[in-house]
């Protein structure tokens, strides 16, 4: 398999079935064909990004045409695909219906299920975290095909192949992890990397046809990238994408985690496909992350209060749904009268969950002192 690239990158202009099918076949062929990853009779978890109950055009979730096209090829290889994810807050049936997954499942006569029933994940050697629970369905699947969406992420900079597998953690337990990990993005990246290495998906195919930039993963702007990408190693895919998007690798918590742990994949420059070798996307709006750990840890509170960005509600845009307060892992938000939310900044761990979950983009982040200084210096 020496001729197979570590990361396959193919242009794909749209979700139109003929175009997508032809491009996906070219991508799969470059990776050795679907038969390399799926054997007859195997139960194959297709794990899209189903963050919330949103229409495909909002580019928050993996497009149903990508999931459909991959499912058809798994079926053709003799596999038994099922679509599953664990949305953070919205009910699963509403998510499945609005994102188009239920319709795909109906048409192909396959199941579309919630990832529930948490069980311990056997952790890969060298994991930082020794006990992580994910859905039994992810642990017991014969194969996982990981189907992330290309999006920026206000807390972690990008959400691609590795972070998509954090979605196998069942529902509110994701929020518990936010609280456990607290302020440290690099530790959170360690957790994401541990889960991805332990689940070891057979293949990651990323929907980068229409992605999101800016304040992702839920409130950024759709952007046409026209890209389908794949790798057997989601970390290699993410690091290659980070460069392709013009983002600073050193600022990417996932890269820092992998580098610190000597887990950087070899040959991530060995790409195949039809992008020119020196291609990068222009002027992608990548969130800038402020460091929350410039001071010694016992001064975290001061750093948090005076230096870091903080969530701010825009009451005029709020519809009072209460999702943010229900999800807040630190219990830092209290709904008051007239859609006003009281935020306790001492408790707040700057996890960005409230911004992520808000359906009305009614929560912004005021820029922290450090980012404002960097802005002033033009960096």
Is residue 350 part of the contact set for ligand SF4 (CB under 6 A)?
Answer: yes
DSSP for 23-73? HHHHHHHHTT-GGGT--TT-EEEEEE---SS--GGGSSS--HHHHHHHHHH
148 Cβ neighbours under 8 A, 6+ residues apart: 48, 49, 62, 159, 160, 161, 163, 164, 204, 206, 207, 234
For the CB of residue 318, give the shortest distance to ligand SF4 in the complex, in Å.
Answer: 3
With contacts defined by CB under 6 A, name the span among 8-16, 128-136, 353-361, 371-379 that binds ligand SF4.
353-361
With contacts defined by CB under 6 A, name the span among 58-66, 69-77, 224-232, 346-354 that binds ligand SF4.
346-354
For the CB of residue 326, give the shortest distance to ligand SF4 in the complex, in Å.
Answer: 9
Is residue 360 part of the contact set for ligand SF4 (CB under 6 A)?
Answer: yes
**Closer CB to ligand SF4, 192 or 197, in the complex:** 192
Among 157, 158, 228, 351, binds ligand SF4 (CB under 6 A): 351
Among 101, 349, 370, 371, binds ligand SF4 (CB under 6 A): 349
Q: Which residue has the tokens 């509110």?
A: 172
Q: Which residue has the tokens 């580019």?
A: 59
User: Ramachandran region of residue 32, left (φ > 0), alpha (ψ -120 to 50) or beta?
Assistant: left
Phi, psi dihedral angles at 80 (to 5 degrees): -120, 90
How many residues interact with ligand SF4 (rule CB under 6 A)?
28
For the CB of residue 300, give the shortest distance to ligand SF4 in the complex, in Å.
Answer: 14
With contacts defined by CB under 6 A, name the span among 32-40, 215-223, 225-233, 351-359 that binds ligand SF4.
351-359
Is residue 354 part of the contact set for ligand SF4 (CB under 6 A)?
Answer: yes
As to burial, measured by CB atoms within 10 angstroms (0-12 exposed, 13-18 middle, 19+ buried), residue 16 is exposed
For ligand SF4, the binding residues in 321-340 under the rule CB under 6 A are: 321-324, 328-330, 332-333
For the CB of residue 312, give the shortest distance to ligand SF4 in the complex, in Å.
Answer: 10
DSSP for 226-241? EEEEEES-HHHHHHHH
Q: Which residues pair with 210 in a beta bridge?
A: 224
For the CB of residue 281, give the shortest distance to ligand SF4 in the complex, in Å.
Answer: 28
**What tokens were used for 242?**
């980070």
Among 20, 53, 169, 358, binds ligand SF4 (CB under 6 A): 358
How much of the chain is in helix, strand and coil states, percent to nearest 5? Answer: 35, 20, 40
For the CB of residue 135, give the shortest distance to ligand SF4 in the complex, in Å.
Answer: 23
174 Cβ neighbours under 8 A, 6+ residues apart: 86, 88, 166, 167
Is residue 312 part of the contact set for ligand SF4 (CB under 6 A)?
Answer: no
For ligand SF4, the binding residues in 292-311 under the rule CB under 6 A are: 311
Among 31, 83, 362, 370, binds ligand SF4 (CB under 6 A): 362
The answer to whether residues 292 and 185 touch, using CB atoms and an 8 Å cutoff, is: yes
- Calculate the CA 367 to chain-centre distance: 23
For the CB of residue 375, give the shortest distance to ligand SF4 in the complex, in Å.
Answer: 21
Among 363, 368, 370, 371, binds ligand SF4 (CB under 6 A): 363
Is residue 181 part of the contact set for ligand SF4 (CB under 6 A)?
Answer: no
CB atoms within 10 A of CB 30: 20
For the CB of residue 351, give the shortest distance to ligand SF4 in the complex, in Å.
Answer: 4
Query: Which helix (H) or strand (E) covers residue 137, if one does?
Result: helix 136-140
The answer to whether residues 239 and 268 touch, using CB atoms and an 8 Å cutoff, is: yes
Is residue 76 part of the contact set for ligand SF4 (CB under 6 A)?
Answer: no
The answer to whether residues 237 and 204 touch, using CB atoms and an 8 Å cutoff, is: yes
Is residue 60 part of the contact set for ligand SF4 (CB under 6 A)?
Answer: no
For ligand SF4, the binding residues in 77-96 under the rule CB under 6 A are: none
Is residue 353 part of the contact set for ligand SF4 (CB under 6 A)?
Answer: yes
Is residue 318 part of the contact set for ligand SF4 (CB under 6 A)?
Answer: yes
Residues near ligand SF4 (CB under 6 A) are: 311, 313, 318-324, 328-330, 332-333, 341, 343, 348-354, 357-358, 360, 362-363
């Amino acid at each position: 398999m020496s001729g197979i690239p570590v990361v396959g990158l193919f242009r794909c202009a749209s979700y139109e079935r003929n175009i997508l099918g032809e491009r996906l076949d070219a991508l799969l062929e470059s990776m050795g064909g679907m038969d390399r990853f799926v054997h007859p009779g195997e139960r194959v978890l297709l794990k899209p990004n189903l963050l919330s109950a949103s229409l495909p055009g909002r580019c928050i979730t993996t497009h149903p045409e990508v999931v459909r096209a991959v499912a058809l090829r798994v079926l053709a290889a003799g596999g038994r695909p099922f679509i599953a994810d664990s949305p953070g807050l919205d009910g699963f049936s509403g998510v499945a219906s609005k994102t188009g997954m239920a319709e795909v499942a109906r048409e192909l006569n396959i199941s579309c299920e919630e990832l529930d029933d948490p069980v311990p994940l056997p952790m890969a050697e060298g994991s930082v975290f020794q006990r992580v629970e994910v859905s039994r369905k992810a642990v017991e699947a014969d194969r996982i095909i990981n189907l992330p969406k290309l999006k920026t992420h206000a807390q972690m900079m990008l959400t691609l192949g590795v972070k998509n597998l954090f979605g196998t953690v069942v529902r509110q337990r994701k929020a518990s992890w936010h609280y456990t990990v607290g302020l440290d993005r690099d530790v959170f990246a360690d957790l994401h990397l541990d889960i991805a290495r332990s689940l070891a998906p057979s293949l990651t195919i990323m929907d980068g046809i229409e992605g999101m930039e800016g304040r992702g993963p839920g409130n950024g702007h759709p952007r046409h990238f026209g890209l389908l990408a794949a790798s057997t190693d989601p970390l290699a895919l993410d690091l290659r994408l980070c460069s392709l998007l013009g983002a600073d690798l050193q600022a990417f918590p996932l890269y820092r985690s992998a580098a610190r742990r000597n887990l950087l994949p070899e040959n991530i420059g060995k790409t195949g496909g039809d992008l020119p070798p020196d291609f990068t996307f222009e002027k992608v709006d990548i969130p800038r992350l402020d460091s929350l750990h410039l001071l010694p840890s016992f001064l975290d509170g001061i750093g948090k209060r005076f230096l870091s960005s903080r969530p701010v509600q825009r009451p005029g845009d709020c519809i009072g749904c209460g999702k943010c307060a229900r999800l807040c892992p630190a219990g830092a938000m209290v709904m008051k009268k007239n859609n006003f939310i009281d935020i306790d900044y001492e408790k707040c761990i700057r996890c960005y969950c409230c911004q992520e979950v808000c359906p009305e983009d009614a929560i912004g982040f005021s820029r922290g002192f450090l980012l404002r200084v960097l802005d002033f210096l033009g960096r």
